[in-house]
Amino acid sequence: MSASYFSHGELVGVLTTQPLDRVLDYKAPEGGCFVGAFVEVPLGPRKVIGVVWGAGKGDYDRSKIRHVIRVLDVAPMRTEMQDFLTKAAGYTVTPLSQMLRLATRAPGLGDPPSMRKVYRKGSIQPDRMTDARRKVMAVLAEYGGLSFTLKELADMADVTSSVVKGLVKLGAVAEEDAPRDTPYPWLDPDYAKKDLTEAQEAAAEVMRKGVASDVYGTTLLKGVTGSGKTEVYMEAVAECLRAGKQALVLLPEIALTSEFLTRVEARFGAKPAEWHSGVTMTERRRCWRMVGQGDAKLIVGARSALFLPYQNLGLVIVDEEHDTSYKQEDGVLYNARDMTVLRASLVGAQVILASATPSLESWANVEAGKYKKLELTSRYGPAVMPDMRALDMRAENLPSTRWISKTLRDEVLARIERGEQSLLFMNRRGYAPITLCRACGHQVGCDHCDARMVEHRFQKRLVCHQCGETKPMPNVCPNCEAEDKLAPVGPGVERLAEEAAELFLDARIATLSSDMYGSARALKAQIEAIANGEADVIIGTQLVAKGHNFPLLTLVGVIDADLGLQGSDLRAAERTFQLMRQVAGRAGRAEKRGVAYLQTYQPEHPVIRSILSGDEDGFWGAEATERRHAGVPPYGRLAGIVLSSPNVQEVFDVGAELARLDAPLRDIGAQVFGPAPAPIGRIRGRHRVRLLVKADKAAPIQQALIKWVNQVKIGNNVRLSIDIDPQSFY
């Protein structure tokens, strides 16, 4: 008997998505089951879904072991997926059951296939024909054996649906049940290939070869914004489709998907499958199932699309690979870029990391020879990179409630005159970051977090950016009850828009901030309107930095280039460099040369200087040297530990105890820093304490962490989370 099949009554181990971190024994159901089968099993009084993970352990009283209820009608989990989930759980120090949950996030997995009525040609010829009936029969004759939904058939024949129903009664049209989840349309790799430039073609050829080689490999595709990275990696996708394998394109922002789907359709003749939080439940279910049976060949999605049940994954593209949104910051803390590389290495797939401003991690992996690198150095067509200039704000003498310098204002006015667009960039949502009482000096804070409430004038509310709590803008100070003394301090995009409206009286001003649109569709419509020239001045948060193409845009003004340089984040310089280059890249994407101004109070700051000079290798070289000396990522390893509890004493006690019992970490040469109050000391009413573990890159940090935290008994009130390779330190 093969080890992967279990006949009726044999013991199998089933992993469920329930928070019990172990595989449970069951008896195989009637008809048996294979390893990887999705099954329904009894758990206490409930029925839950799980996966047959392997043979049962048999360490439990056999008479008490229950039967698997049934095997679900979905493609079984492949061994390589089990392997991926196991390794990903190990790397991120996450319970395996939680990893499985990421891999089963489709509704109705346990349901029988959902059906719908379809219509095709019947066997009987109706004796009484009308014009309307004739039209229906003509459509069915033309399409032979194909079936249609009622609406499709009626629309194609240009008749009402009652005509079709009438024909069904006569037996001239057959009505049948068919599965609702249908395969995605075929994508034609040769549908409309663009002529690539010589440099593009050279890069595309390397990628095609990679995909055709059938072995794992990761390539960093670096190229300035507008150099044609997308066009080039589409060729790798085409090669993957030719090979009959599945390709996945990960995008950092849902707002970018629709533009991308349109490009896929133009290139391959049909739209791909889509997977992200904006997709309907029905479509999600279809996507999950079709990926599992190999009937979706190209999937475009957010980071969680990496956990779909691919049958033969050949290629994964991580677009804007440096983007911080690839790191999931709640629930399972994982970096989709890194997990992509893991997954691809297990199935012999190729990975392409695309970016104009790669992360230092990827840069270092190229240096170390782990990744290949391909570079596109010039923009496609006549477009060239914008001029970058600093505006020394010390010389501008602005009043404290104004943020647009005179120089920048004049430049914008000149653009409005010429019918060109300007973008004013400010990476802060809302109206003002601080609401201050002029009578008592109180700053309005959140009741549940150690964070200020941010005024969102557009929504007429105060919002906590930590927990999402909102309240109406008060008239009296919550502290001293003085009336009408609350005043906004500092700028957010909404306030900047107000200033712009005063300065540019007749201009059309559009504000792009993720919180100002009720739906992804409304946001998309606004982006399209801007691209069509329906705005003169665009005010935007980092949402605009990502990928959108505004052909009329020739000026970018960064309102506060110093913003990201403050604070102690080890990636502050890297992030600022990336964001500034990315935003500047929005200017001058068509024939007209663009210019980008950085308003700064420290034009001599090394990061600002390297942004302006465009000396990337110089910047990354210096940054790498610094990090190497400090032994921090990507040259060392960090793990962040956050303890939280409603009881402040308790979290500090647990933190102190962990710090004291650091032997398992010292054994691998790692150091513990902390406990220290987290930068945001309280969120949703829970007090927060951080510890930071620093180790050599090669140290077996995961096992040591587990040993370490298991020494300490942690009360039910306390939550402990381990963040391997932390990206944020709040």
What is d(CA 514, CA 307) in angstroms, rounded to the nearest whole number? 26
**Residue recorded with tokens 């279809």:** 286
- Least distance from C-beta 204 to ligand ADP, angstroms? 10
When CB distances are held under 5 to 8 angstroms depending on the partner's kind, the choice from Zn ion, ligand ADP, none that residue 226 binds is ligand ADP
Residue among 4, 86, 197, 325 that touches ligand ADP (CB under 6 A): 197
Residues making contact with Zn ion (CB under 5 A) = 446, 448-449, 464, 466-467, 469
- Phi (first) and psi of residue 477, to 5 degrees: -65, 130
What is d(CA 125, CA 172) in angstroms, rounded to the nearest whole number? 6
**Nearer Cβ to ligand ADP (228/488):** 228
**Residue 602 binds to ligand ADP (criterion: CB under 6 A):** no
Distance between first and last Cα of the chain: 54
H or E element at residue 584: helix 572-584
Chain CA centroid to CA 700, Å: 28
**Nearer Cβ to ligand ADP (225/257):** 225
- Phi (first) and psi of residue 151, to 5 degrees: -70, -45
When CB distances are held under 5 to 8 angstroms depending on the partner's kind, the choice from ligand ADP, Zn ion, none that residue 223 binds is ligand ADP
Q: What mask, x for binding ligand ADP by CB under 6 A, covers residues 364 to 383?
A: ----------------x---
What 8-state DSSP symbol labels residue 37? -
**Nearer Cβ to ligand ADP (226/633):** 226
> Six-digit token pair at 4?
């992967």
With contacts defined by CB under 6 A, how many residues of the chain interact with ligand ADP? 14
- Phi (first) and psi of residue 119, to 5 degrees: -130, 135
What is d(CA 219, CA 373) in angstroms, rounded to the nearest whole number? 5
**Residue 226 binds to ligand ADP (criterion: CB under 6 A):** yes
- Least distance from C-beta 534 to ligand ADP, angstroms? 19
- Least distance from C-beta 536 to ligand ADP, angstroms? 22
**Nearer Cβ to ligand ADP (316/393):** 316
When CB distances are held under 5 to 8 angstroms depending on the partner's kind, the choice from ligand ADP, Zn ion, none that residue 435 binds is none
**Nearer Cβ to Zn ion (359/466):** 466
| Burial of 324: CB neighbours in 10 Å, binned 0-12, 13-18, 19+ | middle
366 three-class SS: helix
Residue among 25, 181, 231, 560 that touches ligand ADP (CB under 6 A): 231
- The span of 225-233, 393-401, 406-414, 534-542 binding ligand ADP (CB under 6 A) equals 225-233
- The span of 191-199, 399-407, 566-574, 698-706 binding ligand ADP (CB under 6 A) equals 191-199
What is d(CA 254, CA 284) in angstroms, rounded to the nearest whole number? 15
**Nearer Cβ to ligand ADP (354/451):** 354
When CB distances are held under 5 to 8 angstroms depending on the partner's kind, the choice from Zn ion, ligand ADP, none that residue 446 binds is Zn ion
Question: b/e map of 21-40 (b: 16 or more CB within 10 Å)?
Answer: eebbbbbbbeebbebbbbbb
- Least distance from C-beta 533 to ligand ADP, angstroms? 16
When CB distances are held under 5 to 8 angstroms depending on the partner's kind, the choice from Zn ion, ligand ADP, none that residue 464 binds is Zn ion
**Nearer Cβ to ligand ADP (456/589):** 589
* 51 CB-near residues (< 8 Å, 6+ apart): 14, 15, 36, 37, 38, 39, 77, 82, 100
- Least distance from C-beta 328 to ligand ADP, angstroms? 24
- Least distance from C-beta 510 to ligand ADP, angstroms? 21
**Residue 101 binds to ligand ADP (criterion: CB under 6 A):** no
- Least distance from C-beta 466 to Zn ion, angstroms? 5
| Burial of 404: CB neighbours in 10 Å, binned 0-12, 13-18, 19+ | buried
- Least distance from C-beta 245 to ligand ADP, angstroms? 22
What is d(CA 594, CA 588) in angstroms, rounded to the nearest whole number? 4
What is d(CA 503, CA 451) in angstroms, rounded to the nearest whole number? 32
**Nearer Cβ to ligand ADP (114/377):** 377
- The span of 98-106, 196-204, 247-255, 330-338 binding ligand ADP (CB under 6 A) equals 196-204
Amino acid making up residue 103:
A
Q: What is the DSSP string of 182-236?
A: -PPPP--TTSSPPPPPHHHHHHHHHHHHHHHHTS-EEEEEEE-TTSSHHHHHHHH
| Burial of 113: CB neighbours in 10 Å, binned 0-12, 13-18, 19+ | middle
**Residue 194 binds to ligand ADP (criterion: CB under 6 A):** yes
Beta-strand pair 273-275/173-179 = unpaired
When CB distances are held under 5 to 8 angstroms depending on the partner's kind, the choice from ligand ADP, Zn ion, none that residue 469 binds is Zn ion
**Residue 196 binds to ligand ADP (criterion: CB under 6 A):** yes
What is d(CA 408, CA 599) in angstroms, rounded to the nearest whole number? 9
**Nearer Cβ to ligand ADP (221/595):** 221
98 three-class SS: helix
**Residue 229 binds to ligand ADP (criterion: CB under 6 A):** yes
**Nearer Cβ to ligand ADP (198/617):** 198
When CB distances are held under 5 to 8 angstroms depending on the partner's kind, the choice from ligand ADP, Zn ion, none that residue 641 binds is none
Q: Please say whether the dihedral angle defined by the alpha carbons of residues 528, 533, 535 and 540, taken in this order, is positive or negative.
A: positive
What is d(CA 322, CA 318) in angstroms, rounded to the nearest whole number? 9
Q: Please say whether the dihedral angle defined by the alpha carbons of residues 682, 686, 691 and 693, taken in this order, is positive or negative.
A: negative
Amino acid making up residue 55:
A
- Phi (first) and psi of residue 346, to 5 degrees: -80, -20
- Least distance from C-beta 686 to Zn ion, angstroms? 11
- The span of 57-65, 156-164, 229-237, 702-710 binding ligand ADP (CB under 6 A) equals 229-237
**Nearer Cβ to ligand ADP (213/549):** 549
**Nearer Cβ to ligand ADP (126/358):** 358
**Residue 550 binds to ligand ADP (criterion: CB under 6 A):** no
Q: Return the C-alpha torsion angle 194, 195, 198, 202, nearest 10.
A: 50
**Nearer Cβ to Zn ion (446/705):** 446
- Least distance from C-beta 267 to ligand ADP, angstroms? 9
> Six-digit token pair at 472?
């109406």
**Nearer Cβ to ligand ADP (14/356):** 356
Rule CB under 6 A: which of 240-259 touch ligand ADP? Answer: none
Assess contact for 575 and 365: CB atoms under 8 A: no
When CB distances are held under 5 to 8 angstroms depending on the partner's kind, the choice from Zn ion, ligand ADP, none that residue 231 binds is ligand ADP
When CB distances are held under 5 to 8 angstroms depending on the partner's kind, the choice from ligand ADP, Zn ion, none that residue 449 binds is Zn ion
Residue among 56, 76, 223, 633 that touches ligand ADP (CB under 6 A): 223
What is d(CA 30, CA 371) in angstroms, rounded to the nearest whole number? 49
Rule CB under 6 A: which of 706-725 touch ligand ADP? Answer: none
**Nearer Cβ to Zn ion (437/464):** 464
- Least distance from C-beta 585 to Zn ion, angstroms? 34
**Nearer Cβ to ligand ADP (93/204):** 204
**Residue 200 binds to ligand ADP (criterion: CB under 6 A):** yes
* Contact set with ligand ADP (CB under 6 A): 194-197, 200, 223, 225-231, 380
